[in-house]
Structure 1
Amino acid sequence: MHQLTSKIFPVKKLKANYKAIVVSIILLVLWLVFFFAQAEPLKSISEFGGFLFLGIAGAIAANSTGAGGGVVFVPSFQALSMDVEHIIATSFAIQCFGMTMGSISWLNFFRGHDQQKIEKVSLFYRTLGVSIPFSILGLFLVQYANWQAMSSINNMFSLFSLVFGVIVLLHCVYVRSRSSHRGVIELTKLEILLIAATSFIGGIITAWISVGVGEILAVILLLRGFSVMFSVAAGVMVSACTVLAGVPFFIYNQLISYDVLMYAAPGALIGGFIARYIAQALGAKKLKLFLGLWILLVGLIGIF
């Protein structure tokens, strides 16, 4: 009996996952407290319960491609006639849950003891060390220095997404996948400059429309010869850090729709957790194709 139980519930796996289990229980208890604190909790299910599935869908798409979930959330909130400020703020808040969970999942993917894994982790951290500060700087300039978006920013970003989507698809067809560590553990000076500049621009765009920096970084890394898994994971993590840095601004200004967040956030956690496994199941080439098509979709949604 003991042997059978051990096979079904391996002790090592349980020990490895106990932290995640404890965190999940704490989050569940907090959610239940918030839920029952409402005046009419059952009524809120009928009004906002559908956002649970929206959160799952948005987080899966975001964390399996590196692009933010804003492209799913923003059109959905627009259909509900929410004003622009509340749309961006609520999208940021949801992504804090989904992208953070996705980041943890992708980070575990890169951990290991063999030399190739060590080099991947080293290069991965160096990439994020360049990207994250510049992305947050771009974000803060919009939020606190009041950098206003140009009137045609959505059209510009849509065009940008269409161009990059085509580039990724062409890359998928004509270029073979390459190792993410490429035999080295350092970024070139050109790559550092390119990552810093594009992350800064991506942070600005993300502050305006809640999506951008993860997508841009993933594509740039892919075009520089990094593997699709490496590129997507980096896009997810820089997006997570960017939205986490930006959400206090929206909390302070009371712009987040907490009724929506209460249901979308658990969905985003679920989607963020399973997205990496979906990406692995697809494989590098199919994931690259999915990434290219997803970026094209971002552009087409912005146009129409």
Structure 2
Amino acid sequence: MTDAETTEAEVSDRTALPVSDAAALSERITENVERVIVGHHDAIEHILIAMLARGHLLLEDVPGVGKTMLARSIAKSVDGSFKRVQFTPDLLPSDVTGVNVFNQQTREFEFQPGPVFANLVLGDEINRAPPKTQSSLLEAMEEQQVTVDGVTRDLPDPFTVVATQNDVEQGRTYDLPVAEIDRFMKKLRLGYPDEAAETDLLGRVAGRHPIESLEPVATVEELRQARATVAGVDVAEPVRNYVSRLAAYTRNHAQLGVSPRGSIALLRAAQARAVLSDRDYVVPDDVQTEAPTVLSHRIVTQSGAQTGGAVVEDALDAVAVE
């Protein structure tokens, strides 16, 4: 059975790693990535959490702060398939998903898979492509499958999209559809490194770039097993109720609040955070740690009002843990 034929439903509980082993796996990947990426420990953890929690991640920031390099380092640390899509204004949906090509010898159409058929897909500067092309990822991100000319094909398992977004050249970019933004489990900003971190970075890249010698420290099967571990983390009813009340607060205090998909994403991210903390159960602190990166980008406020991040901060302050 190929990766593309293996679905998440087929990863049973008996394949799950012990929580301590899953936590050690995450630490091993983080340390490996930090051989290349300096000063972004939290961001590396956030990407790992998205991968372990069956989610996708959006990196938004100015050019040159290491967004693409971070995604590449994560991909090289896990011995899976990696594809990069450079989004441009002339990119077509078929350039992402694949296309049927007529074979002159067999006199039949053959499907040529696009770069979306990989364990980790980097969508570089996704907002440079028009909405129609951006939307080619909607089915893939939500259902882990692609439909071309009426035929549906499964994507590899695991499947994660890490997209970068240029937020400087607004006149040359397109806004992401709300439906697509909602499919990203997390949205992060890296920011500039501090002086010490940047000095360390310059020392590492003065000669051969460290990513050239980066070796995998985890297999795809280990990642699947760690995802099964995360899915099995216990979430008590009071914690589930806490997530629901946080979501309800955002709906009552914004033009567009957090969707049920957002609530599910927060719960899954909290499960992954628990595993990274070597626990097999979620506590409210896990929810509170994950809420800003999971919920903020899903909230739409009226023009001139507070940001989505501010609404989430208010929700965390106002909604009591019961």
Q: Give the TM-score band, short-chain normalised.
A: under 0.3
Higher strand share: 2
With a CA cutoff of 8 Å and minimum separation of 6, indicate the structure with the bigger relative contact order. Answer: 1
TM, length-normalised to structure 2: 0.24
Higher helix share: 1
